[in-house]
Every structure is written in C-alpha cells, then in structure tokens.
Amino acid sequence: MAKRPDLDALIVPKGSEPVPAAAAPTGMAGKGYAHTLSLRLTAEQYRRLRRFVADQEEKTGRRITHQSFIEAAIEERLDKLGG
C-alpha cells in the first residue's frame, strides 16, 4: 500500500521517541504526552458526555474538549484514591 504523504508526519511507530513539541499536532505541544489510550463508550455514555460538555460551555462561555474533561476526571479520581 502506498504511503499517503499527507499522513506520513502523523505516523509514529511503536517504541519510537516521543513526538517533539514542535512537530506535535495542535493541542499536544507542551503537554509531553507519551501514551495514547482509546476509550470505548456506549451510545448513552457518549451522549451524556456531549451534553455535559455542551452545557458547561454554555454556562461558562469557555470551550471544553472531551480530552480535557476526561483528563480532569482521571486526575480527580486518582487524587481521591491516593494514586
């Protein structure tokens, strides 16, 4: 299969060095992400997440991404459990 030049910059082989901040996609620079996780949600869980984020954006006037919400939830849970 021929490589697609528009996607070549996004391909990171497993075990390679982390993406330099300058080459990271928008939003990743400065965070120093080293791992990517996938999260499977039911249709209802995803609807709840979308509704919650939209409601919070409406109330606060600030953009909230699903990523930032999930990161905050993980941090809060780990802090609560002493992790």
pLDDT tens, position by position, 25-58: 555 556 788 889 999 999 999 999 999 999 999 9
Is the pLDDT reported for residue 13 higher than 80? no
Task: Give burial (CB, 10 Å; 0-12/13-18/19+) of 49.
Answer: middle
Chain mean pLDDT for the chain: 80
How long is the chain? 83
8 Å CB contact between 66 and 47: no
